[in-house]
Amino acid sequence: MLKEMFENVKKKTPLIHCITNYVTVNDCANILLACGGSPIMSDDAAEVEEITSICNALVINIGTLNQRTISSMLLAGKKANELNHPVIFDPVGVGASKLRNETAEKLLEEIKFQIIRGNISEIKMLALGNGSTKGVDADIADVVTSETLDSVIAFAKEFSKKTGAVIAITGAIDIVCDTNNAYVIYNGHPMMSRITGSGCMLTAMMGAYLAANQENPLEAAASAVCAMGICGELAYEKLEETGAGNSTYRNYLIDEICNLTADKFERGAKYEVR
């Protein structure tokens, strides 16, 4: 099932509008091309509604938000909602400043998101108004373990109910759920946290997966998480061979997404549904 989501991206070449941060934007564009989508980055209030209208999905990432782009996010999000284009939200660093908290809150109020993806601290912050974000990384106190897994799933399903969005909480163990079902995904590698942008890239890629699989948002999101995790593992195998470091690992990761096949996907995916 998840494999089909992956294949649909290749078939449909969805065009994804990203309003995203300037730190990882190039990697987001390249991973969208790698997975079979096509990126367009645009953030001026005067054009975002038109741009999003010609796209198949919108990804909003607040990594380096500023006053100018916040209004663009709102305009684009509302337009996408109006057109029934899927909208994905990555609340990077929410909890780290009032501006991020208020912006995230406003976005959640005014835009209907199909997927919200963050680390556990970010999602807790969104859902509960607390959580202990350490900059853009999850706080150690929040980490999902096999002991806390069930309660985190329950929490995520609750937040899905509240928002109507598929919730994706990524970390050592990834949880992707709607109100009823949770995919618990065991793919990935710790090296992914030694590069900037693995979260942003995943969110961007979710845009492509969701655009190509609008009728199955839960499976689309879970499939993107699996793909990223599998490729994180494959990239690490390559890293072990070559002895390279984190910069090259970033390239390997995107390369593996570029070279991922349905067969590798099938063999590599490690998940259960709860």
Residues contributing to the site for a copy of itself (CB under 8 A): 15, 21-27, 29-30, 33-34, 38-44, 46-47, 50-51, 54-55, 63-68, 93, 96-100, 134-137, 194-197, 243-248, 250-259
Q: CB 90 → a copy of itself: shortest distance, Å?
A: 15
**93 labeled part of a ligand binding site:** no
Q: CB 29 → a copy of itself: shortest distance, Å?
A: 4
b/e code 36-45 from CB counts within 10 Å (16+ = b) = bbebebbbee
Q: CB 231 → a copy of itself: shortest distance, Å?
A: 10
**41 labeled part of a ligand binding site:** yes
Q: CB 51 → a copy of itself: shortest distance, Å?
A: 6
Q: CB 264 → a copy of itself: shortest distance, Å?
A: 13
Residue 15: count other Cβ atoms within 10 Å of its Cβ: 18
Residue whose C-alpha is closest to residue 200's, from 58, 15, 59: 59
Give the nearer residue to a copy of itself in terms of CB position, either 4 or 255: 255
Give the nearer residue to a copy of itself in terms of CB position, either 221 or 253: 253
Give the nearer residue to a copy of itself in terms of CB position, either 173 or 253: 253
Place of tokens 């990223």: 228
**197 labeled part of a ligand binding site:** yes
Q: CB 241 → a copy of itself: shortest distance, Å?
A: 12
**100 labeled part of a ligand binding site:** no
Give the nearer residue to a copy of itself in terms of CB position, either 152 or 208: 208
Residue 187, Cα to own-chain centre: how many angstroms? 15
Q: What is the DSSP string of the chain?
A: -HHHHHHHHHHH--EEEEE--SSSHHHHHHHHHHHT-EEEE---TTTHHHHHHTSSEEEEE-TT--HHHHHHHHHHHHHHHHTT--EEEE-TTTTS-HHHHHHHHHHHHH---SEEEE-HHHHHHHHHS----BTTB--GGG---TTTHHHHHHHHHHHHHHH-SEEEE-SSSEEEE-SS-EEEE----GGGGGSTTHHHHHHHHHHHHHHTTTT-HHHHHHHHHHHHHHHHHHHHHHHHHHT--HHHHHHHHHHHHHH--HHHHHHH--EEE-
Q: CB 175 → a copy of itself: shortest distance, Å?
A: 24
Give the nearer residue to a copy of itself in terms of CB position, either 1 or 140: 140
Give the nearer residue to a copy of itself in terms of CB position, either 44 or 150: 44
Please state the residue numbers annotated as binding site for ATP. Answer: 117, 170
Q: From the annotation, which residues make up the binding site?
A: 41, 117, 170, 197
